[in-house]
Amino acid sequence: MDLLGKARRLESTIAARLDEAARGLVRSRPPEPLEIVHAILDALDQEIEPTGRGTRVFPFNRIEISVVAPSPEARGRLEAVFEGDTPLRTRIVERLQSAGCSPTEVAVAIHYVDRAEANWRAPEFDLQFARVVEPDVENPEHDSKPARIEITALRGVTERWTYSLAAARIDLGRCTEVRDSRNRLIRTNHVVFTEGSADVNQTVSRQHAHITYESSTGHFRLHDDGSGHGTEIVREGRTISVPRGSRGVRLQSADEIVLGEARLRIKFPRDGDR
């Protein structure tokens, strides 16, 4: 009887150690990109707030997602899923709608890093949320028609050396047309760094940044679109960072725009320093 009890205890000990080893193997396997997508969506659920009478609200309109991509291959797999047939932003909007929220404009910025920070909510990703209130200002002194801006290439190979544009939004990036995995057109760049022309050009993302014109103030603002190598402004020897997912940084005439290692100079043909 004593031998039988010892055998059972030994069997239980072996089973427990095997279970622990199996769990260790599962933990050591890096999660698949689709698993990270589902984990991000589950994390969003924790931010939804009840507003009473069965209604719920997502209190933010900006989401910044940092994802660990230790190699170009890992980043490629993540981008293929995040930007695939159902992009991550679409999945986020659908999840919020299914939870009873009514998101209108949710800006999602994704950037890839080599390693996780100590304070991240998960080993593979982190989420930062913000609510940015855009001012609704009517200013009759400024014409609603977009003003003209001149953009000149200083470093990097562009389709044209200088551009003269008047548009509410001007997209900056590598290649003229940006398409998804099903060859659907998702963006057309106005200022185009050519593909494969120089190493500098490879530091410019296809959807790198854009410039907006505010008719209410007559100002131009520069926005980063989740680029891989960042966006900055050089003004009178001082470097100004353009954060991802922000409402952008106001531009001044003679500013230099830095996209990765490429560089552009802007000029306002009229009003000098808008």
Q: What is the pLDDT of residue 272?
A: 47
pLDDT digits (tens, 9 = 90+) for 53-106: 777 888 888 888 999 988 888 888 898 898 888 888 888 888 888 888 875 578
| Cα separation, 196 vs 194, whole angstroms | 7
User: Is residue 194 pLDDT above 80, yes or no?
Assistant: yes
Q: Which CATH class is domain 149-267?
A: mainly beta
User: Is residue 204 pLDDT above 80, yes or no?
Assistant: yes
User: Is residue 184 pLDDT above 70, yes or no?
Assistant: yes
User: Is residue 206 pLDDT above 50, yes or no?
Assistant: yes
> Residue 112 — very low, low, confident or very high, per pLDDT cuts 50/70/90?
confident
User: Is residue 211 pLDDT above 70, yes or no?
Assistant: yes
CB count in 10 Å sphere of residue 152:
16
Q: What is the pLDDT of residue 138?
A: 52
Domain ranges of the chain: 33-130, 149-267
At 232, which amino acid appears? E
Q: What is the pLDDT of residue 16?
A: 67
Is there a common fold for 33-130 and 149-267?
Answer: no
Q: What is the pLDDT of residue 19?
A: 66
DSSP string, 215-268: TTTTEEEEEE-S-SS-EEEEETTEEEE--BTSS-EE--TT-EEEETTEEEEEE-
pLDDT digits (tens, 9 = 90+) for 253-265: 999 999 999 999 9
Q: What is the pLDDT of residue 41?
A: 92
Q: What is the pLDDT of residue 12?
A: 65
CATH 3.40.50.300 fits 33-130, yes or no: no
